[in-house]
A and B are shown apart, each in its own frame.
Chain A
Amino acid sequence: MSEICYLDNAATTKSAPQVVERMVKSFQQDYFNPSAMYKPGLNEEKAIQACKAQLMAAIHAKGDADRRIIYTSGGSEGDNLLIRGVLDRKRPSALENGSIVTTIIEHPAVREVFSDYEKRGVKVIWLPVDEAGFVDPQDLSEVVDEHTLLVSIMGVNNELGTFQPLETLGKIIKDHNPDCFFHSDFVQGFMKCPIDVEKAQLDGVTLCGHKINGPKGIGAVYLREGWPIKPLVFGGGQEHGLRSGTENVQGIVGFDEAVKLWESHDVIKRLVQYRRYVENTLMDTLENVKILGPQDEEKRSPAVMSVAIEGVRGEVLLHACEAKGVYISTGSACSTHKKEKHQVQKAIGLSPSYIEGTIRISFSALTTFDEVKQGVEIIIGEAQQLRKFAKFIK
């Protein structure tokens, strides 16, 4: 029996032992500043370049890895850097006459940036999604024109697991306007769903370390050649001037090690099994349960799923499971500090009696089948108990 069942890996993951080991070695032996003039500094610079090359390969990007990959503190900074970086280089007249496009189910790190531009008078088009969380290519096709400055579409949704057809969407965008910047927050998709930035014609992609058993505090963005952006952080000119500050070398090598861990095909195969097991067990045991997001494994991430259980409050179920050592969430952890709840569930048109009962279950490369099995058993048991109080759900 596992002592705890950690099934909230879409919020963050435990760092893998090999990640920690490589970081400790770096802390103790390779602590030099990559900008230093002496040899150990140069060695660090080279080590970072090798890590960048691996990220490029993982997203099938072409070009000079050192310039195309920029390390950041994580997903939120990456989204801000790319969206603000592109828009803040635009002339005021371009912003005044242009528009920017995103979806209504983005992570707050994208949504709030768009809201900020909207407040400043930039026209924002918020695309709806269907009941599985997909953007309708037709909708996109109707809104992108020669005035569209930027489109940002989350690759994999952090609650539903919906994996957008980025290649189809990219083609539509570029067919309508080759000069429109196509960005995707791929934090939840990275290493879990295939991505080819060339085929998808992506200009900017946000990645992050701690969702794939890497450390917190490290992320990266891919930026296509030919797109000048305005930095968020000015200073010593690291990352070719686009992100000043001494490189987080330990974070970078930890991130690199995490990518290696997920490269094994076995990981994805296991997660698909877990996800199916959870889905089947819940559907077989509980009545009035909905599995949110797409059914087709090709169109979704195997690592995250949301389940709506009628007659319980997700938050209460979460705490009841917590008492038994099972950790799940009710949605994006990043938004529990904010009052607007259930944005994604509302966006896919889930009925109110199910919205309150939504929980999110998510896996990582370190998740074991025992954890999943035991976790689901406890979730089901607690949900059955809590359904006695269904009449009090507001």
Chain B
Amino acid sequence: MENREHVILVRYGEIALKGLNRHTFIDLLVKNIRGALSHLESVKVEKIQGRIIVHISDTELDQGVDAVSRVFGVVSLSPATVVDSQMEQIEPVVLEEADRAPFDSFKICVKRSDKRFPMTSPEIGRHLGGVVLKHYDGQGKKVKMKGADREIWVEVRESAYIYSQFVKGRGGLPVGCSGQAALLLSGGIDSPVAGYMMAKRGVKLTAVYFHSFPFTSDRAKEKVVDLARIMTRYTGHFDLYVVPFTDIQTKIVEVCPERQTTLIIRRFMMRIAEIIARKTGSLSLITGESLGQVASQTQESLSATGSVVGMEVLRPLIGMDKQEIVEIAQDIGTFETSILPYEDCCTIFVPKHPETHPNLKKIAAGEAAMMDDAERMIQEAVDQAEKIRL
């Protein structure tokens, strides 16, 4: 009786270069892959030299490949069949791989790390090439060493791994290896993309959403929860803090100069986000700002909002065009949800003529009417924030 099982061979790139931290990085990647597959039943993840192997049932293989391909740190992956390192077991699997799709030319690629196997790599290649040619006898199949239609790989280790498909991973670094940061998440197109991009560089996320009921509806909040849920396919689980923001926002609108309202509202959002960030172990804030996109995203406006916090503000979209951001949003699947027509916290109370080149002193003066009670209001908003685990 032959031993046969399905696995996903996972390859990682950049993280392999990280010197002494290498093991920590790989362990983190293994953990993240386990997390990404936690919804599947019979999955086992193990490290072997230079690779991660996911043991998975045949029926869950496609779902597994899909989920692992979204884990940051994975460069590529191949669904493979594993059999004992015996030629009579390898041959039928090679023919199955060949049969997956039509081809004219092919190549057998062999890696032999188990030197106890009685044949050398070139010998194995020639032998299996012969088996394929014989199987398709009379159909004009050709062996081609360069530019073949099909490449069938055979890795002879303690067992033999046979595969012919390569699925591209998303690269990047395993989430968690770059610490944690708090993302200011609105319902728009940009902020989910910003979160995705920082997660790609290994940042574990916490998200903060400002809810201004009745100015923003429960559907708007549901939309943000949906967006966050889509993001978890890439970022892994994270917490979303829904901050009740109505009192602060309406007071700003009532007591501050109209031209400055958007900026002052954003300054309060940054202050609250910073407190939640520190409380939850985040080292930075992340925003979806892109230079010049709207009035609150000029250099002066960014300084005016960034200057109220004492931590790094990461703005991964700062140099990107809207179209580039939209393309990423479409790629990661957040776009369709982002464009649902509900008001978000950034689009209500937009002054008709907003300040675009604010002067820090003037903003501080404009904000003065808020400041007697600001600390209490901010603390209350933080205390009443609802935490949603995604």
Of the candidates B214, B258, B341, B351, the one whose C-beta lies within 8 Å of that of A319 is: B214
Contact of A392 among B213, B214, B217, B351 (CB under 8 A): B351
Interface of A, helix, strand, loop or mixed by DSSP = helix
A389 close to B (CB within 8 Å): yes
Contact present for B253 and A315 (CB under 8 Å)? no
Task: Give the A-binding residues of B (Cβ under 8 A).
Answer: 213-215, 217-218, 250, 253-254, 258, 341, 343, 348-352
Q: Would you call B214 and A388 a contact (CB within 8 A)? A: no
> Does A172 reach chain B (CB closer than 8 Å)?
no
- Quote the shortest CB–CB distance from A242 to chain B (angstroms): 38
Partner of A391, one of B215, B258, B343: B258
A389-B253 contact, Cβ under 8 Å, with A315-B343, A339-B341, A394-B350 = yes
Cβ-neighbour of B214 out of A320, A339, A391, A394 (below 8 A): A320
Q: List chain A residues, Cβ under 8 A from B214.
A: 316-320, 322-323, 382
Could you tell me if A319 and B213 are in contact, using CB atoms closer than 8 angstroms?
A: yes
Contact A316 B215 (CB under 8 A): yes
Interface residues of A in 321-351 (CB under 8 A from B): 322-323, 339
**Tally of A-B Cβ pairs under 8 angstroms:** 32
CA of A392 to CA of B215, assembled, Å = 12
A323 to B217, CA, bound (A): 10
Tally chain A residues at the interface, Cβ within 8 Å.
15
Neighbour of A388 across the interface among B218, B254, B258, B351, CB < 8 A: B254
Q: Which residues of A contact B254 (CB under 8 A)?
A: 388
Is B350 in contact with A323, judged by CB distance below 8 angstroms? no
On chain B, the residues within 8 Å of A388 by CB distance are 250, 253-254
Q: Which of B217, B258, B350, B351 has the most CB of A within 10 A?
A: B217
Q: Apart from A388-B254, A389-B253, what are 20 other A-B pairs with CB-CB below 8 Å? A: A315-B217, A316-B348, A318-B214, A319-B213, A319-B217, A319-B218, A322-B214, A323-B214, A339-B341, A382-B214, A388-B250, A388-B253, A389-B349, A391-B258, A391-B352, A392-B348, A392-B349, A392-B350, A392-B351, A394-B350
- CA separation between A388 and B251, bound complex, in Å? 11
A35 to B325, CA, bound (A): 58
Nearest B-chain residue to A323, judged by Cβ: B214
The 7 A-B pairs with the shortest beta carbon distances in the complex, nearest first, are: A319-B214, A320-B214, A392-B349, A319-B217, A316-B214, A316-B215, A339-B341
Give the complex CA separation of A389 and B250 in angstroms: 8
- Min C-beta distance of B194 to chain A, whole Å: 25
How distant is B253 from chain A, measured CB to nearest CB, in Å?
6
Instruction: Choose among A320, A382, A392 the residue with the greatest number of B CB atoms under 10 Å from its CB.
Output: A392
B351: chain A residues within 8 A (beta carbon): 392
Give CA–CA (A127, B374) in the complex, Å.
Answer: 56
**Shortest Cβ distance from residue B251 to the other chain A in the assembled complex, whole angstroms:** 11
Smallest CB gap from B342: residue in A? A315
CA distance A392 to B250 in the complex (A): 11
| Interface residues as binary, A291-325 with B (CB distance below 8 Å gives 1, 0 otherwise) | 00000000000000000000000011111101100
Nearest CB in chain A to that of B216: its residue: A319
Identify the closest chain B residue to A317 (Cβ).
B214
CA distance A317 to B350 in the complex (A): 18
Q: Which residue of A lies closest to B351 (CB)?
A: A392
Bound: A394/B213 CA distance, A: 18
Give the CA-CA distance A388 to B253 in the complex, in Å.
9
Q: Mark A358-392, 1 if CB is under 8 A from B, else 0.
A: 00000000000000000000000010000011011
Considering residues B214, B250, B343, which has the most beta carbons from chain A within 10 angstroms of its beta carbon? B214
Query: How far, in Å, is B183 (CB) from chain A's closest CB?
Result: 25
Known: A315-B217, A316-B215, A322-B214. A392 touches B343 (CB 8 A): no
Q: Which residues of A contact B218 (CB under 8 A)?
A: 319
Which residues of A are found within 8 Å of B253, using beta-carbon distances?
388-389, 392
Q: Complex formed: what's the CA distance from A97 to B350 in Å?
A: 51
Contacts of B217 in A (CB 8 A): 315, 319
Which B residues are in CB contact (< 8 Å) with A317? 214
Cα of A365 to Cα of B176 in the assembled complex, Å: 59
Instruction: Give complex CA distance A319, B348 in Å.
Output: 14
B258: chain A residues at CB < 8 Å are 391
Q: Chain B residues near A318 (CB, 8 Å)?
A: 214
Give me 15 A-to-B residue pairs in the complex whose CB atoms sit less than 8 angstroms apart, sorted by A's number.
A315-B217, A315-B343, A316-B215, A317-B214, A318-B214, A319-B214, A319-B217, A319-B218, A320-B214, A339-B341, A389-B349, A392-B348, A392-B349, A392-B350, A394-B350
Measured between beta carbons, the chain B residues less than 8 angstroms from A392 are 253, 348-351
Q: Which residues of B contact A382 (CB under 8 A)?
A: 214
Whole-angstrom distance from the CB of B282 to the nearest CB of chain A?
Answer: 31
A28 to chain B, nearest CB (A): 37
Return chain A residues, CB-CB under 8 Å to B215. Answer: 316, 319
What's the Cα separation between A316 and B254 when bound, in Å?
17
A137 vs chain B, min Cβ distance (A)? 37
For residue A381, give the distance in angstroms from its CB to the closest CB of chain B.
13
Per-position contact with B for A171-212: 1 when CB-CB < 8 Å, else 0? Answer: 000000000000000000000000000000000000000000
Closest to A392 in B: B349
Q: Which residues of B contact A322 (CB under 8 A)?
A: 214
* A322-B217 Cα distance, complex, nearest whole Å: 10
Q: What chain B residues lie within 8 Å of A394 (beta carbons)?
A: 350
Could you tell me the distance between the alpha carbons of A339 and B217 in the complex, rounded to whole angstroms?
16
User: A323's contact among B213, B348, B352, by CB below 8 Å, is which?
Assistant: B213
Instruction: Give the shortest distance, in Å, between B240 (CB) and chain A (any CB).
Output: 21
Q: How far is the CB of B265 from chain A (nearest CB, A)?
A: 11
Kindly supply a per-residue 1/0 record for chain A positions 141-183, scoring 1 wherever the CB is within 8 Å of any chain B CB and 0 otherwise.
0000000000000000000000000000000000000000000
